[in-house]
Amino acid sequence: MDAVPTDIHIPLFVDLDGTLIRTDVAQELLVKSIGTPSQIVATVTAAMSGRASLKHYLASANAFDATTLPYNQQVMDYLIAEKAKGRKVILATAADIRVATKIADHLGLFDQVIASDQHRNLKGTEKLAAIRAISKGPFEYLGDARADLPIWQEAAVVGFVNPANATRAAVDKNSHVSLDIMDNPPLARSVLKAMRPHQWTKNCLIFLPLFFSHGYTDSASVLNAVIAFGIFCLFASSIYIINDLLDIEADRQHAKKRHRPFASGRMLPIQGVIASIGLAALAFIASLSLLSVAMSLIFLLYIVITTLYSMWLKHYSTIDVITLTCLYTLRIVAGGVAISVTLSPWLLNFSLFFFLSLALMKRYIELVRIQKTGKEKSRGYYISDMQAVLPMGIANGGLAVLTLTLYLNSDYVAQTYASPTLLWLIAPLTLFWVYRAWIWALRDKIDDDPVVFALRDKISRLTLFITCTLVISAKFISLEAWFQ
């Protein structure tokens, strides 16, 4: 297939989903339609009347922002160049006419739009018939999917935008090719990125019960903790994918998050749903097979809470940070159940205050950045709420340190550790880290997630290392014996 110059008298037809834009608008709107039970019922009812009816309902029931869609820049450049030559450029899509018109109005490139309506799904041969009616002769078509085969087979000039190898091979090898784009990354790479492996470090909280119970000398306990960690990572990734699907439009307006697989169009929503279900199913089977029913119930509880958070709770102030705190604490609970250790109430109290402080820090950072954009609100928070979020976050950090000092003064510490006095060095270390983190947040030096910051920051890692060294030393080394 050799690329050839095109005649300016041949009309140029271009597909929308997967061609002009990297994503599928109908799939994105479908995700937006699962917010409430009533929306789900209405969506199912529309689907029972066929694809055209479903697309029409989705387009009429959900708003979308055409300005932030992930347009394929190579396709855009080609269309602009051909339009400048005087060619007639037509958007030919199976998307609903409302969606297509909104995108066409935004771009201002198209002489005409043909699209699906409530009664007709303009796909495959239906689209070909509509193209014939307009072209009245030779035409050029840019597409991406197997459904485009009948159109490519009749087109005088064809353009490929990331088609499957089998689809590409099915097109006549003697066809004149005007555009040949293959710039999608491998799906496996996009899935891995959507799983957010860098966030798995949060699941290291599972090892806290193992560490503080000093069960790290028992190979069976270590193995169960490692298995629980791995399974938790799979469950967490399953939820991260769903969360990204629900946040597509918000992510596209974010400087960094717009590069995520769904926001950038590198993965389609349907692929994300399949990946999420597959990860959750694999994790649940592994949990039942390798751990216990109790652990599986904890994992199920985690999925329920995170799903509620992703779909509803994160949009309401205060309850969102409480939910985040509970999710962090649940990881610690899972670690205790995995190795059959009763958790210390001191550890649970500390985690509640500590992670509530970090959750409030996360919201404070978001509000500061929202304020810079001139907006007045972020999710359930107003800019004016910073005056309350800041002192609450700092206060909870202080309460976490207070809980730690009370624990260090408990009978349990005196009976468990060879050198309880050595543990008191942890208190000023923790105090240093908490207030240093808040000062950095005030200076806008912490990215969106304080937990990720803590794991990447050299000073934070050094503080953690010293703390762990002190705990182990206090357990096995008696300072009192040294001075006798």
DSSP state of 49: T
Q: Among residues of the chain, what percentage have pLDDT more than 90?
A: 70
Q: Is the pLDDT of residue 165 over 60?
A: yes
Region of residue 380 (left: phi > 0; alpha: psi -120 to 50; beta: else): alpha
Residue 261, token pair as written in the block: 């697989």
Q: Is the pLDDT of residue 483 over 60?
A: no
How does DSSP assign 359-412, residue by residue?
HHHHHHHHHHHHHHHT-SEETTEEGGGHHHHHHHHHHHHHHHHHHHHHHHTSHH
With b for 16 or more beta-carbon neighbours within 10 A and e for fewer, the 372-394 pattern comes to eeeeeebeebeeebbeebbebbb
| Confidence at 330, pLDDT banded by 50, 70, 90 | very high
CA dist 277 and 294 (Å) reads: 21
DSSP state of 417: -
| Confidence at 2, pLDDT banded by 50, 70, 90 | very low
Q: Same CATH topology for 12-184 and 186-343?
A: no
Torsion, Cα of 231, 233, 236, 241 (10° steps): -110
CATH fold for domain 186-343: Tetracycline Repressor; domain 2 (1.10.357)
**What is the average pLDDT across 467-479?**
88
- Give pLDDT, residue 371: 86
Region of residue 262 (left: phi > 0; alpha: psi -120 to 50; beta: else): alpha
- Tell me the domain boundaries of the chain: 12-184, 186-343
Q: Which residues contact 408 (CB under 8 A, 6 or more apart)?
A: 420, 423, 424, 426, 427
**What is the average pLDDT across 353-359?**
95
Nearest to 159 by CA among 263, 72, 231, 245: 72
Name the strand (E) or helix (H) holding 101: helix 97-107
Nearest to 242 by CA among 191, 310, 309: 310
Domain formed by 12-184, architecture: 3-Layer(aba) Sandwich (3.40)
Q: Give percent helix, percent strand, percent coil of the chain, each to the nearest 5.
A: 65, 10, 25
Q: Is the pLDDT of residue 6 over 70?
A: no
Q: How far is CA 103 from the centre of its chain?
A: 25
Q: Write out pLDDT tens, residues 54-97.
A: 999 999 988 889 999 999 999 999 999 999 999 999 999 999 99
Segment among 172-181, 214-223, 240-249, 299-308 with least mean pLDDT: 172-181
Q: Write out pLDDT tens, residues 387-400.
A: 999 999 999 999 99
